[in-house]
Amino acid sequence: MTPTNYQLAISDALKRPTPGRIPFSVEFMPPRDDAAEARLKHAAKTFHDLGASFVSVTYGAGGSTRERTARVARRLARQPLTTLVHLTLVDHTREELVDILREYARLGLSNLLALRGDPPGDPLGEWIPTAGGLTYASELIELVQSLPECEHFEIGIASFPEGHYRAASLEEDTHYTLAKLRAGANYSITQMFFDVEHYLRLRDRLAVDAEHGHKPIIPGLMPITSLRSVRRQMELSGAALPPALERRLERAAAGDEEANREAIREVGIEVTTEMAERLIAEGAPDLHFMTLNLVRATQEVLHNLGMAPAADMDVIR
Ligand SMILES: Cc1cc2nc3c(=O)[nH]c(=O)nc-3n(C[C@H](O)[C@H](O)[C@H](O)COP(=O)(O)OP(=O)(O)OC[C@H]3O[C@@H](n4cnc5c(N)ncnc54)[C@H](O)[C@@H]3O)c2cc1C
């Protein structure tokens, strides 16, 4: 990929004509082993063929994620899929972040989700910046903007329908989210949520800024397939499962989650379909699915929405 052949910006990707009722996009994680690699390839091909507006690749704290995220993002970009690559501040000095950003640019990537990341060890604990590193995602936006190699980057940020768990109030959360949009981010992707009202209230809160508050807010959706893992994910993100949904899932589990896996999935797919219908009616710009690199649950939701053929039920993935 040459510098004159940049990837489409996400905000432009959302404006492309879409085969479905609304654009949809998917989040992938860099695979850790060969089996996970095969799952990701299958998922990338499937979502490419279904017309995903873009795909994103997460950035995990520490270790080998730096290489894996960049490698996977480059491969997806060549598929070709409009690719959004995540970056966090965790365990990185400013110089390392500069190197990573230059590497992303060299690989032909141009869509960045600028994130702070969570404290390693205890995601809900106190955030202590790395020595020589940055403190807030807004500083990463400034860093990107200071690098000539990255001047073509389009920047997205995280937003939080229920407020970020460390923000003292929803007002404070709104203040810092708007600060990132004013600093140059062009859209946000939300933390997963299970009550569309939270998304709509976030949209209302941001709308107080007539210039920047109307940038796309892409809802993050995760079709629940396991009660245990969704509880864990909610715990780690400091958000909550609505009590009525938790009761519905518990009824489906009927005291034996393992034996009633299919019943739990059914509820999960149904709930995400209902949420997606409401989000479409409310004019959301895109539906962003946190897939965990799996196809079936997301495809079932898309199928229910009339946006994909039925998923192949023989494959668990
Ligand atoms: C769509 C999405 C994708 C994600 N992908 C990843 C990923 O790939 N890898 C990963 O590790 N994590 C990921 N996360 C998790 C994210 O890193 C955490 O939620 C993190 O706690 C917050 O990141 P942020 O970018 O919103 O931080 P920030 O914008 O820096 O905000 C963090 C906290 O600081 C406050 N704050 C912000 N600016 C200031 C300021 N100037 N002064 C005082 N307080 C301030 C905010 O209100 C908030 O409470 C993702 C989250 C979302 C929603």
Residue 205: predicted pLDDT? 98
pLDDT band at 2 (very low <50, low <70, confident <90, very high): very low
Burial class (CB in 10 A: 0-12, 13-18, 19+), 141: buried
Lowest mean pLDDT among 79-93, 151-165, 301-315: 301-315
**Cα 32–Cα 82–Cα 138 angle in degrees, nearest 5:** 80
pLDDT band at 317 (very low <50, low <70, confident <90, very high): low
Percent of the chain, pLDDT > 90? 87
pLDDT band at 14 (very low <50, low <70, confident <90, very high): very high
Q: How far is the CA of 12 from the centre of ligand 1 (A)?
A: 24
pLDDT band at 311 (very low <50, low <70, confident <90, very high): confident
CATH number of 10-305: 3.20.20.220
Say if ligand 1 is within 6 A of residue 167 CB.
yes
Say if ligand 1 is within 6 A of residue 182 CB.
no
Residue 314: predicted pLDDT? 57
Q: At what angle do helices 170-182 and 137-146 cross, to 10 degrees?
A: 0
Residues forming a β-bridge with 86 = 113
70/174 Cα distance (integer angstroms): 31
Residue 191 vs residue 66, higher pLDDT: 191
Closest CA to 221 of 122, 313, 302: 302
Residue 228 vs residue 312, higher pLDDT: 228
Residue 46: predicted pLDDT? 97
Instruction: Kindly report, residue by residue over 43-59, the tens digit of the pLDDT.
Output: 999 999 999 999 999 99
- List, in order, residues 6 or more apart from 270 with CB less than 8 Å away: none
The mean pLDDT value for 121-127 works out to 89
Which strands sit side by side in the sheet containing 217-218, from one edge to the other?
217-218, 187-190, 154-159, 111-114, 83-87, 55-57, 24-28, 287-290, 220-221
Q: What is the DSSP letter of 12?
A: H
Count of CB atoms situated within 10 Å of the CB of 131? 6
The mean pLDDT value for 215-242 works out to 93
Kind plus residue range of the DSSP H or E element containing 69: helix 65-78
**What sign for the dihedral angle of Cα 14, 18, 23, 29?**
negative
70/84 Cα distance (integer angstroms): 11
Which amino acid belongs to residue 315? V
Say if ligand 1 is within 6 A of residue 191 CB.
yes
Does residue 316 surpass a pLDDT of 90? no
Protein residue with its CA nearest to atom 15 in ligand 1: 117
Residue 237: predicted pLDDT? 86
Query: Token pair for residue 73?
Result: 């993002």
Kindly report the average pLDDT of the chain as a whole number.
94
Domain ranges of the chain: 10-305
Residue 1: predicted pLDDT? 47
Residue 312: predicted pLDDT? 77
Protein residue with its CA nearest to atom 26 in ligand 1: 158
pLDDT band at 121 (very low <50, low <70, confident <90, very high): confident
Q: What is the DSSP letter of 121?
A: S
Say if ligand 1 is within 6 A of residue 239 CB.
no
Which amino acid belongs to residue 75? R
Residue in 25, 164, 202 to alter for ligand 1 test, most ligand atoms within 8 A of Cβ: 164
Query: Token pair for residue 207?
Result: 């709308």
Does residue 64 surpass a pLDDT of 70? no
Q: Is the peptide bond before 23 cis (omega within 30 degrees of 0)?
A: no
Residues with catalytic annotation?
Answer: 27
Instruction: Give the β-pairing of 187-190 and 154-159.
Output: parallel
Residue 217: predicted pLDDT? 98
pTM of the full structure: 0.97
Which amino acid belongs to residue 307? M
Q: How far is the CA of 260 from the centre of ligand 1 (A)?
A: 35
Query: Token pair for residue 177?
Result: 């989210």
Residue 3: predicted pLDDT? 47
Residue 141: predicted pLDDT? 98
Does residue 28 surpass a pLDDT of 90? yes
